[in-house]
Amino acid sequence: MRNIYISIGSNIGDRATHIRRAVVGLALRGVRMVKQSRLYETEPVELREQEWFLNGVIEVETDQKPAQLMEMLLTIERAAGRERTVPKGPRTIDMDILLFGDQVIHEGNLEIPHPRMANRRFVLVPLADIAPDAVHPTLHRTIAELLEATTDRSEVRHA
């Protein structure tokens, strides 16, 4: 299936290497990357007292179901040393499913489309790089429209 978008970010250590390794980890598990956005330096938005992030978005193809893909992302995060000790805190790697085609999913801890993506410039800017015309399945607006309308004014700059 196509039109699956995953946000990917890091703010610990060699951020770019963590991101590259996570993408390779997906490929090794049979997930094919279709497109990758540029990487952006982004300021933390919820827990502000931490290092800036390096963020991007990838479009992938996979035969995995959404819950299987999310479990794969969590496995890659754990393998990269991700520890969830401080909510919204520093992390070696963070990956979230933003959109899974036009599916709307609420299963346990899995929510697709990502529930806060329309309010996060660090997601919308790189997503607009590769899919400005993708339509959010519940808000019925394109990514470009969501980016223009967001009230988030956090800094997002080319890395």
**Residue 82: active-site member:** yes
**Which position among 96, 120, 153, 157 bears the catalytic label?**
96
**Which position among 15, 82, 120, 121 bears the catalytic label?**
82
**Which position among 21, 48, 91, 129 bears the catalytic label?**
91
Burial class from Cβ neighbours inside 10 Å (0-12, 13-18, 19+) for residue 67 reads: middle
**Which position among 94, 116, 141, 153 bears the catalytic label?**
94
- Which residue type is seen at 13? G
Active-site positions read: 82, 91, 94, 96
